[in-house]
Amino acid sequence: MRTLTCFIVDDEPLIVQRLASLWDKPEFAAGGYKLIGKACSGQEGLELALELKPDIVITDIVMPHMTGIDLITALKPRLKETVFVILSAYKDFDYAKQAMALNVTEYLVKVPLNERDLLRALNNARLTIEANSEQGSKLSRIEQSMREHSYRLRKQVMAELLEAGGASITLPGSVIASVMERNREALMIRFEPKTYCCMHLRIDAFDAFQGRYDVTDQKRMRYAVINIAEETMQAFGHGFMFELTGGGGGRFAAFLSWKQVNSAQRLEEQCYAFGTELVRNVNQYLKLQVSAGFSRSYTGWERLGLASRDAAGALQDAFYKEARAVVTPARRLVYREEALTRFREMLDDLVLHAVSDKPLTFGWGELQALLERKETEPAKLCEAAEEFGLTLRKHRLLVVADTGVNWGDNLSSFVRKLGQIWSEALRLKAATRDGLLERDELKKAKKYIADHLAEKVALGDVAHHVGLNMTYFSEMFKKECGESFTDYVNRMRIEKAMEMMRTRRYNNQELSLAVGIANERYFCTLFKKYAGATPQKFMTMKR
């Protein structure tokens, strides 16, 4: 049973002393009541109650300067969970009516003071507290369910409005405006689109975030980001936030209407202040690093799509900044097509050098310096680098398990990944030239086979393990190894059995199970094929 804290207010010291002595009785302790404070005036009671936050306040009514009714009226909005018991020397019905209007739990006459009546009043107060707590929990669960439902609905509706068909398809503004007006209540949006901006937010290093949390915790963290963002908004204006479905995950968008923003300079200040506060709050409460990009000012529901694309462009600029970046309209970068063209030319020269030994006309430092000028749009930068990797792979100068490469969400990780790919291409080129190369996929496949000989080793499983198409892997394996995948696995099984037989005597069943062949007769057939003798004869010869 929970112990409830109690607080006494009465302007008569003897009454206060008499009441306080009752808490020394076993019945009060056994009932779960603890006295934590007392006051001899309404003003003193107000100050102490706000500091102590008791569960139950027992107060007199008629006191100088501040009556018990005045005290309760002042405390109820600030101590919403506290219940009140009135002890009075008066039976006046007017007082009782005022007490009922304030939902006072009990109205007791304190002369003569009856401790059983007080204990009964405290027990009734406990019932009220427990009922309020249960009701509050139910309301909290309902509100949480409604919020989560609205978040899911927002995500679905806004994806259809802003991300339908990708950037190449834009819904008419009239359609967006109509959908938003019809659904604003269901989406729990308290927002007037008179003058607003859009913010795009991303979780930095999203791959690391996915590796750190399971799917359920990831969902909770994403909901928490939205909650923190919408709470942070309240100090700056009005708005709503939702999760974006595209962009690789871990991305959000919000539309915000600021207080007293009447110029571009004021918009810039508000965006930066809010973005900085939000980034700090998410890091403080969730230990997550996020970056934000803000659009310029827009008006009307029909321009939501334009504002969203503007904010996405701003967030893209965070690629050239460190984690926890805030990009506002005045902090946007300007990209030059000439810089992208030069970057592509450099990558083409790298490929020619790797394939045909054509001398390079630039150093790696020059390429890195080009990138550090921040003149190339990040999306196009990654697209060019992806094409570079695919070209190297076609020439067998790059081995990756996936069809694509994660280029990271900032310039330093991009340059590091590009450097790793180039170093790998040069290593494979040198190994091929010196006749030292065995494809990494083959090494990985052979190790997988060796580690799983006691199990079923299927071609599809091994191909998936090394990241290659099954048909391609089968043809490559036979070409490089001079025997089919099945023949190689069978030979490895028998060689393992022969190795085991050199240490001690086994029967055929033990050997066949140890090397992953369920049928004993088939094991004997394979053994004779590769060893030139039956298992028994081979064991006799070796011993």
**Cα distances (angstroms) measured from residue 159 to each of 116, 181, 390, 392, 469:** 64, 16, 31, 36, 34
Range name among 64-68, 100-104, 353-357 with the lowest pLDDT average: 100-104
Pick the CATH number of 440-542 from 3.40.50.720, 1.10.10.60, 1.10.3720.10, 3.40.50.300: 1.10.10.60
Non-local (6+) Cβ contacts of 275 within 8 A are: 199, 292, 294, 326, 328
Whole-number pLDDT of residue 276: 96
Whole-number pLDDT of residue 114: 75
> Do residues 446 and 354 make contact, with C-beta atoms less than 8 angstroms apart?
no
pLDDT tens for each residue of 235-260: 898 888 898 887 668 899 999 988 77
State yes or no: pLDDT of 277 exceeds 90: yes
Long-range contacts of 476-481 (CB under 8 A, 24+ apart): 476/439, 476/441, 476/442, 477/442, 477/445, 480/438, 480/439, 480/442, 481/442
> Do residues 240 and 186 make contact, with C-beta atoms less than 8 angstroms apart?
no
Q: Tell me which H or E stretch contains 199.
A: strand 197-203
Beta strand pairing status for 290-294 and 197-203? antiparallel
Residues written for the chain: 543
If 0-12 CB within 10 Å is exposed, 13-18 middle and 19+ buried, where does residue 473 land? buried
Whole-number pLDDT of residue 284: 94
Whole-number pLDDT of residue 248: 67
Whole-number pLDDT of residue 143: 54
Range name among 133-142, 165-174, 321-330, 517-526 with the lowest pLDDT average: 165-174
The token duo for 411 is: 């310039």
The token duo for 510 is: 């033990």
The CATH fold assigned to 163-331 is Alpha-Beta Plaits (3.30.70)
Alpha-carbon distance 244 to 254, whole Å? 10
pLDDT tens for each residue of 483-521: 899 999 998 999 898 888 888 888 888 888 988 988 888
Mean pLDDT along residues 350-362: 87
Q: Tell me which H or E stretch contains 36.
A: strand 33-39
Non-local (6+) Cβ contacts of 193 within 8 A are: 180, 255, 257, 299, 300, 301, 304
State yes or no: pLDDT of 129 exceeds 90: no
Whole-number pLDDT of residue 96: 53
Whole-number pLDDT of residue 480: 75
3-state helix, strand, coil in the chain (%, to 5): 60, 10, 30
> Do residues 295 and 264 make contact, with C-beta atoms less than 8 angstroms apart?
no
Range name among 3-7, 364-368, 394-398, 506-510 with the lowest pLDDT average: 394-398
State yes or no: pLDDT of 436 exceeds 60: no
**DSSP secondary structure string for all residues of 96-128:** HHHHHHTT-SEEEE-SS--HHHHHHHHHHHHHH
Alpha-carbon distance 426 to 397, whole Å? 8
pLDDT tens for each residue of 164-185: 534 434 567 777 778 787 777 7
Q: Band of the pLDDT at 229, cuts 50, 70, 90?
A: very high
Secondary structure class of 157 (helix, strand, coil): helix
If 0-12 CB within 10 Å is exposed, 13-18 middle and 19+ buried, where does residue 135 land? exposed
> CB 490: neighbour CB atoms within 10 A?
21
So what CATH class is 4-134?
Answer: alpha beta
> Do residues 89 and 110 make contact, with C-beta atoms less than 8 angstroms apart?
yes
Whole-number pLDDT of residue 144: 55
Alpha-carbon distance 105 to 34, whole Å? 18
- Give residue limits of the domains in the chain: 4-134, 163-331, 337-433, 440-542
The token duo for 87 is: 């002890």
Give the residue from 111, 106, 92, 114 showing the smallest Cα distance to 57. Answer: 106
pLDDT tens for each residue of 84-120: 988 876 655 455 556 555 567 666 776 666 788 888 8
CA gyration radius, the chain: 37
> Do residues 197 and 283 make contact, with C-beta atoms less than 8 angstroms apart?
no
Whole-number pLDDT of residue 93: 46
Please give the model's pTM, rounded to 2 decimal places. 0.56
Q: Band of the pLDDT at 281, cuts 50, 70, 90?
A: very high
> Higher model confidence: residue 268 or residue 166?
268
Beta bridge partners of 109: 88
Non-local (6+) Cβ contacts of 242 within 8 A are: 151, 154, 155, 158, 226, 252, 253, 254
Give the residue from 410, 197, 415 showing the smallest Cα distance to 317. Answer: 410
Q: Tell me which H or E stretch contains 339.
A: helix 337-356
Alpha helices in 257-303 (DSSP H): 264-286
Alpha-carbon distance 176 to 428, whole Å? 53
Mean pLDDT along residues 322-332: 91
Alpha helices in 482-517 (DSSP H): 485-501, 508-514
Work out the mean pLDDT of the chain and round it to a whole number. Answer: 84
